[in-house]
Chain A
Amino acid sequence: MSAIANTIFSPELAARFDKLVTIYPLKRSALVPMLLYAQDEVGYVSDAVVAEIAQRLDLLELDVRNVLSYYSMLRTKPAGKYNVQVCTNISCMLRGGFELLDHCKHTLGIGHKETTEDGLFSLEEVECIGACCWAPAAQVNYDFHDELTPAKMDAVLDTYRAREKK
């Protein structure tokens, strides 16, 4: 039973949030993890998510939006089912990160923070994802793909397309 009636989240996530607010000395400390988990479930931080999180933490919606807008990994618009995040920080850049990004833009036909028409992929240029020793690297949702080349990238994208066809 969720602490919030008519929660928009799954029972599991609602239960998780119920607990999350209790484990910090200050309730609002749970804000960032909550936003992240909510985004994982809903796909993005919708207005409804903002409203419910504000209610759970006794914050104003404005407070939630202030924090939300600060973090580039939190999004307020739906992304594709597979969010391709290409790193272009120094190690990746030196080993072809930008070529990789351009290749993705070309093959997917979308730009930074855009989504393909079928809603399958979205593309993002991101800051360091901590995979410098296997640069260039990209992250698709929470999966890492490293030592990439344009050809390898095509293969990666194909595996996701294939997953969809089944």
Chain B
Amino acid sequence: MPDVTLTVDGQKITAPAGTLLLEACKSHGIEIPAFCYYPGLSLQAACRMCVVRIEKMPKLQTACTTPVTAGMVVITDSPEIAQARKATLQLLLGNHPLDCPVCDAGGECELQDMTFKYGAADSFYTEPKNHREEQKWSPVVYFDRPRCILCYRCVRMCGEGMDIFALGIQNRGSSSVIAPNIPAQLSGVVENGVELAQLDCEQCGMCIDACPVGALTSGTYRYKTRPWEMNHVATVCTHCGDGCKTTLGVRSVSDGSQILRGDNRDKSGMNGDFLCNKGRYAFDFANNVERLTSPLVRHSDGTLKPVSWEEALTFAGTKLRDLRQQRGPNSIGVIGSNRTTNEENYLLQKFARTVIGTNNIDHHRTADFVTLATALQGTTGKFASQRDVEKAPALLLVGGDPTNQAPLTAWNIRTNVRLNKARLYVANHEEIKLRRQAKAFVQVAQFGYGAFVESLGADNDFSNAVRAEEQLIVIIGNELRGGELANLIKALPNAKFALLADYANSRGASDMGVLPDVLPGYQSLQGSTIASEYGAADAPGLDLLAMFDAAAAGNLSALYVVGSNPVKRFGIDPTALKSTFLIVQDLFLTETAALADVVFPAANLYEKSGSVTNSYGDLQLVSKAADKAGTRSDFELIVRLADHLGHDIKSLVPFGSQAKGLRADQGQTRGAESGEADRHAVWITANNLEPKLSPFDPFAILDEIQRLVPGYDKLLRLQLLSGNDQHIAPASSGLVQIENRKDLVLPSSDTLFTSGSLTRYSPMLQDVQRHQTTEVSGHLTSAD
């Protein structure tokens, strides 16, 4: 649209025609206060705070609903306007309690800020305030009616943004009230003889974030602390594979620093406004009393007993070394995690391949990234990023249920359809909720995605429409693997693709080569740069299930499991591991850890630094927010274990000076006759980086990842360290399609209220599940 020029407070500003006056002013640094206006949601003009004087208009106008026009002359600040806003505030404060000192929003409340600014604390209203007791609508959403200023933000957020419509406005005038979708008389929830209205929804808490005051408060945070008493750290959520940023409010406690709140008010990540239930509330597993805080070693009486770090590490390291010597490196297996950082994943597979000397490494795979990388090798711009989903003019969703499994993807699709009229095509074996946004929906038979992919070439309305799209983003659920996935990619040559996985770093685990048959960056075990540098075995190792088969057959001498619970997940018979030396490093005594000979208490993703890659390949920085005494990061534990195995740590983690001297070897001191040049030191120098000083510094491994892993070589440190996301595509070519590869993808089948093995350690998730299944069951009408 053409730009128009207008005058605001004597200043000439330019904005595209159709821009709202409020937005135009905001982008030029002129602040107009507003309570009901929320970017991206429909306009309400309910609060009257944004009134401005526009020349030639008889009355004050609301800047949030007035589009800019050429030659418009606007005054945003004058005694008249200040008086109007003050009067509005007095009206809003008519029923508002002055409980700021105990209110959760106190200190970060828009009404409080405005009252300070316009000085409307004195009220002319003499009538008593309309008081109502606070209501508990669900384990995570509480409503304090008198604080509500009826801006309707929550109602619109729930309806338009989340497509749930669980909140409404009832009654009228000064008795108007926000109401949840299950009225008191039908809820069946009685407390002190009073029936309570309940909320049946996705429990995302978006209404709480949008609330400009403290009317909606979070069940996990309310009355715990004040905003200024916490440190706020924006880091990546550990739950699903979408890569949302969650801002954690942390406070010092006697054993470290505890997370009290997760929210997204600073909109620090690519999730923009959005955060789901798990991102917002399910940090509480970190504070669970069942967290392991001491290494455990199985004693001769068969019980696990706490021991010192040194004792546990020495025992595990010595035993691993002995077993490697006696029964060979290929008798040892390593299982990695979907929730550890890229650096830890890379380090772990390097540990397996160079310290142990085996390719027996795998993880719980939740999507077939190997096929994705192989099918798209040698192309550029074919991997879709999360940000593409927000903007693309057309989207095809094949399989998957983003609403439940990848909530940000679902939010972006909905927002894109709502605001940009994007065309969404959905093919699914179930009637997923996103079909409500779809232009066309095809029901696929269960396990019938192969037939669907074939039908894309046929002449029918759906396929023709999809093929006619020039800029198509294809989002693929993890139902599609191997040949079906490759055929889908082949069938749509002009599209960009994304494959949905289930956990925070599922993609990272694959990209970093926590797989038995490929190296980091999906490089071949034979002949690739990494292969030559590792000098490891070139035959594929045992996959996860084969390791347990080997264990059952008595051929697996030791198994090292990092942040994973395969015994539960894959239904492994515990007796299979009776003759295997098992080392587990995890947060809790899971089914797998309970069988271990040595257990190391690990830090979770909120307690460490590093980077993670979401399902789309968007790389983001993980910042340490919380701290738990008695735990160590997985990174540190892997390095220490390697040390106790007697391995030269400098060859595992490139830290400090690599050569014998004080300075890093530049390669020029050693010729062909004295061996290989120190490639890492050469690369470090060429990239103007300093060698990292600590073997526990994840960035030392990030250096190596950037040097060796195709795709990650393009990463920009400034972007990463600034907390921005950047899109990484496995860029290598010459990848070999591995024939007869076993399909080991096991979708986690997590819902909005489960998160793998962490579910049972999160009291909030338990409460919400109970709420949704017992208290509000039978009312599952939530817009579906």
Q: Enumerate chain B residues within 8 angstroms of A69, measured Cβ to Cβ.
A: 170-172, 179
Once bound together, how far apart are the Cα atoms of A124 and B396, in whole Å? 58
Check A6 for interface membership: any CB of B closer than 8 A: no
* A62-B172 CB under 8 A given contacts A47-B185, A47-B186: no
**Contact in complex: A65, B783 (CB < 8 Å):** no
- CB nearest to A54 among chain B residues: B781
Total inter-chain residue pairs, C-beta < 8 Å: 33
* 8 sample A-B contacts, Cβ–Cβ < 8 Å, listed by A number: A60-B781, A61-B181, A61-B781, A62-B165, A65-B168, A65-B179, A66-B179, A70-B170
Interface residues of A (CB under 8 A from B): 47, 60-63, 65-66, 69-70
Cα–Cα distance between A65 and B186 once the two chains are bound (Å): 13
**A47-B185, A47-B186 in contact; A62/B171 too (CB < 8 A)?**
no
Question: For B183, what are the chain A residues with a Cβ–Cβ distance below 8 Å?
Answer: 47, 65
* Residues of B in contact with A, size category: 10 to 19
Measured between beta carbons, the chain B residues less than 8 angstroms from A60 are 165, 181, 781, 783
- Which of B165, B171, B180, B185 contacts A63, CB < 8 Å? B165
What is the bound-complex CA distance between A66 and B781, given in angstroms? 16
Give A47 to B168 CA distance when docked, in angstroms.
17
Residues of A within 8 Å of B165, CB to CB, are 60, 62-63
Tell whether B169 is near chain A: CB-to-CB under 8 Å.
yes
Q: Nearest residue in A to B183 (C-beta to C-beta)? A: A65
B177 to chain A, nearest CB (A): 9
Residue of chain A at shortest CB distance from B172: A70
Most buried by B among A60, A63, A70: A60
Contact residues in B for A66 (Cβ distance below 8 Å): 168-170, 179
A62 to B168, CA, bound (A): 7
Question: Please, how many angstroms separate the alpha-carbon atoms of A62 and B165 in the complex?
Answer: 8
Contact A62 B186 (CB under 8 A): no
**B171 contacts across to A, CB distance below 8 A:** 69-70
Chain B residues contacting A65 (CB-CB under 8 Å) are: 168, 170, 179, 183
| A62-B185 contact in complex given A69-B170, A69-B171, A70-B172, C-beta closer than 8 Å | no
> Does residue B244 face the partner (Cβ distance < 8 Å to A)?
no
CB distance from A16 to the nearest CB of B (A): 25
Interchain residue pairs A-B with the least CB separation, the first 9: A69-B170, A66-B168, A62-B181, A62-B168, A70-B172, A69-B171, A66-B170, A60-B165, A66-B169
**Residues of the B chain whose Cβ atoms lie less than 8 Å from the Cβ of A61:** 181, 781
Given contacts A62-B181, A69-B170, A69-B179, 13 further A-B contacts (CB under 8 A): A47-B185, A47-B186, A60-B165, A60-B781, A60-B783, A61-B181, A62-B165, A62-B179, A63-B165, A63-B168, A65-B179, A69-B171, A70-B171
**Chain A residues, Cβ within 8 Å of B376:** none
Query: Could you tell me the distance between the alpha carbons of A61 and B781 in the complex, rounded to whole angstroms?
Result: 9
Please give the distance in Å from B160's CB to the nearest CB on chain A: 14
- B160-191 near A? 1/0 per residue, CB < 8 Å: 00000111111110000001110101100000
Tell me the complex Cα distance, A66–B170, Å: 5
- B186 CB contacts on chain A under 8 angstroms: 47
Bound-state Cα–Cα, A73 to B167, Å: 23
For the complex, give the distance between the alpha carbons of A60 and B169 in Å.
13
In the bound assembly, the distance between CA atoms of A69 and B179 in angstroms comes to 11
CB-based nearest A residue for B175: A69
CA distance A70 to B179 in the complex (A): 13
Question: Quick one: closest A residue to B180, CB to CB?
Answer: A62
Within the complex, what minimum Cβ distance (angstroms) separates B777 from chain A? 15
B170 to chain A: which residues have CB within 8 Å? 65-66, 69-70
Measured in the bound complex, the distance between the Cα atoms of B776 and A66 in whole Å is: 20
Q: Looking at A47, A61, A69, A70, which has the most chain B CB atoms within 10 Å of its CB? A: A69
Complex Cα distance, B50 from A41, in Å, reads 47
Most buried by A among B165, B170, B186: B170
User: Closest CB of chain B to A42's CB: distance in Å?
Assistant: 16
The residue of chain B having its C-beta at the shortest distance from the C-beta of A71 within the complex is B172
Bound complex: CA A60 to CA B180 (Å) = 12
Which residues of chain B (139-176) have a CB below 8 Å from chain A? 165-172
Cβ contacts B744-784/A at 8 Å (1 or 0 each): 00000000000000000000000000000000000001010
Q: Considering only CB atoms, which chain B residue lies closest to A68 in the complex?
A: B170
CA distance A158 to B286 in the complex (A): 73
